[in-house]
Amino acid sequence: MAFTLVIPVRFGDCDFAGIGYYPRLLALVDATIEDWTEAAIGISRTTLHGTYRRGLPTADLSVRFVSPCRLGERLSCTVRVTRLGTSSISLNVAAAVDGAPRFEADLVQVLIDLSNGRPIPWPEEWRARLQSELD
């Protein structure tokens, strides 16, 4: 199962030549994952952080840039779960424009307790939902 968010490449996402600026493209990856988190486990990041006092920091990140992103393009960013660990999750985010790849990011995020920064196991309800997301 996959989740896709369509995001326009805006002026603030580009360098002076109108080509997507990679730190901003990574912010779009994070925005996609934030929306996916709510869709996948049914809890917004606001609730995750504020009510549950849990976080999902990125522990590992690898990005492959295939083709430039340009001002005005609409990126289709698709999240896939590739692995589910005890407290971690491996995600792939592929960005494309009309099916043509632009970049791909592989991430490992870890569920942590915000009070001490330590990893914690996925709650069973969340784990069951995430398990159904595995490719």
As a whole number of angstroms, the distance between CA 134 and CA 116 comes to: 29
What stretches in the chain show pLDDT beneath 70?
1, 135
The confidence score (pLDDT) of residue 134 equals 86
pLDDT tens profile 16-54: 887 889 999 999 999 999 999 999 999 999 999 999 999
3-131 under CATH 3.40.630.10, yes or no: no
Strand order in the sheet with 3-8: 3-8, 74-84, 88-97, 100-110, 58-65
Q: Where are the domains of the chain?
A: 3-131
The confidence score (pLDDT) of residue 107 equals 97
The confidence score (pLDDT) of residue 135 equals 65
- Using CA atoms of 76, 127, 49, 92 in order, give the dihedral in degrees to the nearest 10: -30
Question: Does the global pTM surpass 0.75?
Answer: yes
